Amino acid sequence: MAKSLSPSRPFHYPQPGEALYCGTVSIEKLARRHGTPLYVYSADQIVERLKLFQSALAGREHLVCYAVKANSSLAILKLLAGHGAGFDIVSGGELERVLAAAPEAAGRVVFSGAGKTAAEIDLALEADILEFNAESEAELELIASRARRMKKRARFALRVNPDVFAETHPYISTGLTEHKFGVEIGKAAAIYKRVASNRWLEPHGVSVHIGSQIRSSAPFGGAAERVYKLVKQLKRAGIELRNLDAGGGLGIEYHAAPFDAAAKVAEWAKAVTCAIDGFEGRLLLEPGRFLVANAGALLARVLYVKRNGSKTFVITDGAMNDLIRPALYEAHHEIVPVRPRAGKPKVVDVVGPICESGDFFAHDRALPPLEPGDLVAILDAGAYGMAQSSNYNTRLRPAEVLVEAGKPRLIRRRETIADLLGPEIA
Ligand code: LLP
């Protein structure tokens, strides 16, 4: 029997001995219909998570700008836009996605990223996005020159680096001066003052983002406090900023432990709003993972179970190209059988067919017995799963299904070999 899943996940076993469901939808049926590997997401949970932020901040002017990079599926962008979300983008491609899914949301887009090109800046100016999160003085110069060509004023927020330590994996920590992101907070005021007279640049906000999968609220409060100090300093100098963007990064629980999402959001909101007490402008935030991670699972089918020496390998048809987080960050994802078999758990490695030892979903994991043909669900894969997938080993990327109000809908068909070979010239 599988452990029952935490209520923070939309996947559950309705009865002991029954197979896994997403809401009222049978996972086995979805796998039969669409094949595997397959991503399945709960739209209801994504909206519920968005609403947690919206209601925690209801007392003040705010805008939740979903970090598109976490899961950039058009259907998910459209869903979130429909519930009032804005977007945090980091490329022209992500802007094109927002414009395709929800053109009416263009004015709710902030554009982050340390290496924006002239073409990307032009696209954003044409779309009249809310503001650029500029990451260097040189970038501000380029934004100003593109804005001048277009005879448009560019609203910008300087992304500052607050030098706050966020306890997280080094690859996804961004708020220290040793990182490539933003400008040192101590130098920010001088930059605002220098560009204040440029008629093509409108100082509109300030932004900060200290990293991802941060479990404690304290570093968010610490960063917001430093940023608000800067806002007050600028106000005294006659530069009034309308938006304070606190970034994303709120972490989730990837293990089987209980997780109270509402309490987490409340704690985050308290830390940030206390730190900026007295700020009269609009609070922006850029959550990605928190909105979509728990909502999604990657389904894979067991192809073979084999023993090598002392180890047992469960080889699935899903692989590191479909979900790279374990290989890249040694990330933990819970794995559950879709139809649990009776019997003692066995310690196994769950791996894919790719020709690398890094191709694994779990090492030395105790799982209920698995046999070829069984389905497994790799949980909490809604963020940075499909978005970081690739065609490595010329594998076709998975299909995706969104379950909304009890109805499953294919939101991306499985790739075909023609999709892959199309751009190539032999
Ligand atoms: N805003 C900015 C400027 C960011 O760079 C990021 C994430 C976010 C918002 C959203 O952060 P979130 O709320 O999702 O933590 N691939 C890694 C995570 C990389 C995060 C990069 N930046 C992973 O799978 O854990």
DSSP, residue by residue, 189-230: HHHHHHHTT-TTEEEEEEE---BSSB--SHHHHHHHHHHHHH
Residue ranges, comma separated, of all CATH 3.20.20.10 domains in the chain are 43-290
Task: Find the distance separating the first CA and the last CA of the chain, reported in whole Å.
Answer: 52
| Whole-prediction pTM | 0.97
Decide: 325 in ligand 1 pocket, CB within 6 A. yes
- Express each pLDDT in 179-198 by its tens digit: 778 899 999 999 999 999 99
Decide: 290 in ligand 1 pocket, CB within 6 A. yes
Please report the pLDDT score of residue 173 as a whole number. 67
If you average pLDDT over every residue of the chain, what do you get? Answer: 95
Site to probe by mutation for ligand 1, drawn from 46, 173, 181, 212 as the one with most ligand atoms within 8 Å of Cβ, is 212
Q: Are 332 and 254 in contact (CB under 8 A)?
A: yes
Distance CA 303, CA 154 (A): 54
Strands 21-22 and 25-26: what pairing? antiparallel
Residues 6+ apart with CB under 8 A from 281: 61, 205, 231, 241, 242, 243, 244
State the average pLDDT over residues 248-265.
95
Bridge partners (DSSP) listed for residue 383: none
Q: Residue 104 Cα, ligand 1 centroid: separation in angstroms?
A: 24
State the average pLDDT over residues 293-297.
98
SS3 344: coil
State the average pLDDT over residues 209-236.
96
Q: Counting atoms of ligand 1 from 1, which one is nearest the CA of 249? A: 15
Please report the pLDDT score of residue 188 as a whole number. 97
Q: Tokens 């899903």 map to which residue?
A: 318
State the average pLDDT over residues 382-387.
98
Distance CA 372, CA 133 (A): 49
Of 91-100, 158-167, 196-205, 233-242, minimum mean pLDDT range: 158-167
Please report the pLDDT score of residue 375 as a whole number. 98
State the average pLDDT over residues 7-34.
94
Q: Smallest Cα–Cα separation from 271: which of 182, 164, 183, 189?
A: 164
Distance CA 42, CA 60 (A): 29
Q: Are 135 and 113 in contact (CB under 8 A)?
A: yes
Distance CA 116, CA 128 (A): 16
How far, in Å, are 41, 156, 200, 205 from residue 117 at the CA level? 33, 16, 18, 21
Q: Which fold has domain 3-35+295-421?
A: Lyase, Ornithine Decarboxylase; Chain A, domain 1 (2.40.37)
Please report the pLDDT score of residue 4 as a whole number. 58
- The model's confidence at residue 217, banded by pLDDT at 50, 70 and 90, is very high
Strands 86-89 and 11-12: what pairing? unpaired
What's 250's DSSP letter? B
Please report the pLDDT score of residue 180 as a whole number. 73
* Residue of minimum CA distance from atom 22 in ligand 1: 212
CATH code reported for the domain at 43-290: 3.20.20.10
- The model's confidence at residue 164, banded by pLDDT at 50, 70 and 90, is confident
Q: Counting atoms of ligand 1 from 1, which one is nearest the CA of 90? A: 3
Residue 280 is which amino acid?
A: E
State the average pLDDT over residues 313-330.
97
Decide: 76 in ligand 1 pocket, CB within 6 A. no
Maximum C-alpha span of the chain: 73
Please report the pLDDT score of residue 1 as a whole number. 42
Residue ranges, comma separated, of all CATH 2.40.37.10 domains in the chain are 3-35+295-421
How far, in Å, are 40, 116, 150, 279, 285 from residue 93 at the CA level? 24, 11, 21, 33, 21
Please report the pLDDT score of residue 411 as a whole number. 98
Decide: 212 in ligand 1 pocket, CB within 6 A. yes
Residues 6+ apart with CB under 8 A from 178: none
- The model's confidence at residue 2, banded by pLDDT at 50, 70 and 90, is very low
Please report the pLDDT score of residue 343 as a whole number. 95
Give catalytic residues, as residue numbers.
Answer: 355
Q: Residue 70 Cα, ligand 1 centroid: separation in angstroms?
A: 7
Q: Counting atoms of ligand 1 from 1, which one is nearest the CA of 328? A: 24
- Express each pLDDT in 128-138 by its tens digit: 999 999 999 99
